[in-house]
Amino acid sequence: MSINYDEYEIVVGLEVHAQLLTNSKLFCGDSAAFGGDPNTHISPITLAHPGTLPKLNKKAITYAVKIGLACNCSITRHNYFARKNYFYPDLPKGYQLSQHTTPVCQGGFVTIRTQEGTRDIRLNRIHMEEDAGKSLHDVDPNNTCVDYNRAGVPLVEIVTEPDIHSGDEAYAYLTELRKLLRYLEICDGNMEEGSMRCDANISVRKKGDTKLGTKVEVKNLNSIRNVKRAIEFESKRLIDILESGEKVIQQTRSFDAGNGTTFALRTKEDANDYRYFADPDLTPFVVTDELLHEVRASIPALPEERVVRYTQELQLPDYDARVITDEKELAVYFEQIIEHTKNYKAAANWMLGPVKSWLNETGGSITAFPVPPATIAALIALIDSNQVNFSVASTKLFAALLKEPGKQPLQLAKELNLLQDSDEGNVAAWIEEVLNKMPDKVAEYKKGKKGLIGLFVGEVKKVSKGKADPKLTNDILLKKLQ
């Protein structure tokens, strides 16, 4: 008997841990940079030496408030950190400082777009906590080693409501969330390096049921694609269990990216009693009106806002607007071009065409792109004034500019003899030369084979080395061939 998977609804909640891009750790001055030789970003405070005390990094608060405001959350004014007590070698103090009862951001949502349209994924909370160190099991054959560089690095944990119903939605949500984190420059969103990590709480229920099914938590999802794969695999597995008449056990599972399956790590019985209580070594902190205003003012225009502006004010197609706003730096570059030109569509075409190709070929980012935005605007002006045609501009002139990005396009076009010739005499002479070379074709044209006009235009382009003004060429040709 075949299983009808469509009878089931998949219910997913995601917990994303994002490492904040602060210079120092959440509770001390040690570097919070990724990597470094093992145990080089440490001090007595990171190592929880006796007598050390935490001191809150104010920058981390502003970052957490930033993502909260960007996700439409309400901001908690009176906050404190609680101790989450458990033993593990990578946890130097024997407790993790985390905003258990007073998450700095509550509620809110992230808007996603899938093939089914636009939808808001509701957030439960965003709270701050410190990261743990890393246990290294492959350094020494007989011992586990611990690297405390990461211990104490600030994280925000962004928790959704069980609002996601497919792998595709999870994919869209994570893509959107990562875009926001990067726009705000508070997390680099690199899932492979672990600066953004995701756990998925997955359950299934018959469509129409209101009660949530028993959930499993899937960990070790090191890419957005793997989150989608894990949800697709795991939801199918859960449906298969239910269809076979068995019950789902609440457990934590790990995703194996190699074969796309999950396996059990531990069941709920092993759950810790974390004995949370407010950390007496820290005083409560207050998000003041001033801080809130300051953070709000520092938030750049977010992707959605820019898309609206591009499509409505600038009349760009939705597709163009979305590609350009995919990364803040691209959008910023685009906006710098249109400070110098009113031809917005042409600017978008340059972004989506030659500029994107360069990014793809070099694998570099727009910040490394050598040609200044004003120069792209100057190129657009050259084309619009018929001095250079687009194909010459986007190939020869663009390539030359990449080599000499400091030069002005007009200057360079002159040097390379790429300027279009709009002198009627010159164009007529080139036409004459072409028509004289191929009297048969001219005869055929005159007999009615009007499609040959393209051949003549091409030949004129060739003999003029691309300089003949195409429109003028066309006009004169038509006259001469009458």
Partner 1 sequence: MYLKAGNNQLLFKYHSIAQYHQDLLTGTTSCVEAVQHYLQQIDARRHLNAYVNTYGGEALKRAAELDASRKAGKPTGKLHGVVIALKDVIAYKDHPLTAASKILEGFNPVFNATAVDRLLAEEAIIIGHTNCDEFAMGSTNENSSYGKVLNALDETRVPGGSSGGSAVAVQAGLCMVSLGSDTGGSVRQPADFCGVVGLKPTYGRISRHGLIAYASSFDQIGIFAANVPDVALVLEVIAGPDDFDSTGALQPVDAYSNLTPLPAKPLRIAYFKEALESPALDNEIRQSILEFAAKLQADGHTVAPVEFEYLDFIVPAYYILTTAEASSNLSRYDGVKYGHRNLAKNNSLTDFYCATRSEGFGWEVKRRIMLGTFVLSAGYYDAYFTKAQQVRKLLVDKINLIFSQFDTILLPTAPSTAFRIGEKTEDPISMYLADIFTVFSNLTGIPTISIPLFWHSNGMPYGVQIMTNQFSELYLLQLSQLWMQQFRHAG
Name the residue nearer to partner 1 (CB basis): 90 or 384: 90
**Residues binding partner 1: what is the number (CB under 8 A)?**
29
As measured in angstroms, the least distance from the Cβ of 349 to partner 1 is 55
Contact 155, 130 (CB under 8 A): yes
E strand or H helix that includes residue 199: strand 196-206
Q: Which is nearer to partner 1, 34 or 276 (CB)?
A: 276
**Nearer Cβ to partner 1, position 277 or 319?**
277
275 binds partner 1, rule: CB under 8 A:
yes
Question: How would you class 304 by CB atoms within 10 Å of its CB: exposed for 0-12, middle for 13-18, buried for 19 or more?
Answer: middle
Query: Of 275 and 465, which has the nearer Cβ to partner 1?
Result: 275
Distance CA 380, CA 371 (A): 14
Q: Which of residues 26-65 bind partner 1 (CB under 8 A)?
A: 44, 47-56
Query: What is the closest distance, in whole angstroms, from the C-beta atom of residue 77 to partner 1 in the complex?
Result: 19
CB of 102 to partner 1, least distance (A): 16
Instruction: Please report how close the Cβ of residue 284 comes to partner 1 at its closest, in angstroms.
Output: 10
Q: Which of 283, 357, 367, 395 binds partner 1 (CB under 8 A)?
A: 283
Instruction: Kindly identify the residues of this chain, within the stretch 325-354, that bind partner 1 according to CB under 8 A.
Output: none
Contact 473, 462 (CB under 8 A): no
Question: At closest approach, how far in Å is the CB of 79 from partner 1?
Answer: 14
Is the four-CA dihedral 441, 443, 448, 454 of positive or negative sign?
A: positive
Considering only 9, 31, 34, 85, the residue that binds partner 1 (CB under 8 A) is 85
Nearest approach, Cβ of 48 to partner 1 (angstroms)?
A: 4
Q: Which of 17, 41, 66, 83 binds partner 1 (CB under 8 A)?
A: 83
Per rule CB under 8 A, is residue 78 in the interface with partner 1?
Answer: no
Please state the closest distance from residue 411 (CB atom) to partner 1, in A. Answer: 58
Q: Would you say 425 and 381 are in contact if contact means Cβ atoms under 8 Å apart?
A: no
For residues 89 and 144, what is the distance between their CA atoms, to the nearest angstrom? 9
Distance between CA 397 and CA 380 in Å, rounded? 12
Subset of 86-125 contacting partner 1 (CB under 8 A): 87-89, 92-95
Rounded least distance, CB 26 to partner 1, Å: 13
Rounded Cα distance, 108 and 188, in Å: 22
Tell me the DSSP string of 232-298.
HHHHHHHHHHHHTT--PPPEEEEEETTTTEEEEEEEGGG------EE-TTS--EE--HHHHHHHHHH
Choose between 149 and 226: whose C-beta lies nearer to partner 1. 149
**Which CB atom, from 151 or from 337, has the smaller least distance to partner 1?**
151
Q: Is 481 exposed, middle or buried (0-12, 13-18, 19+ CB in 10 A)?
A: middle
Residue 94 CB, nearest distance to partner 1 (Å)?
A: 2
| Phi, psi values for residue 112, rounded to 5° | -120, 160
The nearer residue to partner 1, 94 or 370, going by C-beta atoms, is 94
| DSSP class of 429 | H
Q: Which range touches partner 1 (CB under 8 A), out of 272-280, 325-333, 420-428, 468-476? A: 272-280
DSSP category for residue 20: -
Q: How far is the CB of 269 from partner 1 (least distance, A)?
A: 14
CA 241 → CA 11, 229, 267, 347, distances in Å? 16, 18, 17, 54
Between residue 143 and residue 162, which ones bind partner 1 under the rule CB under 8 A?
A: 146
Distance CA 76, CA 91 (A): 27
Stretch that binds partner 1, among 115-123, 259-267, 273-281, 327-335 (CB under 8 A): 273-281
Q: How far is the CB of 42 from partner 1 (least distance, A)?
A: 10
CA distance 191 to 53: 31
Q: Which one among 277, 305, 339, 450 touches partner 1, defined by CB under 8 A?
A: 277
| DSSP character at residue 397 | I
* Single residue of 256, 281, 326, 335 touching partner 1 by CB under 8 A: 281
CB nearer to partner 1: give 246 or 269.
269
CA-based end-to-end distance of the chain? 76
Q: Which residues bind partner 1 (CB under 8 A)?
A: 44, 47-56, 83, 85, 87-89, 92-95, 146, 273, 275, 277, 279-283
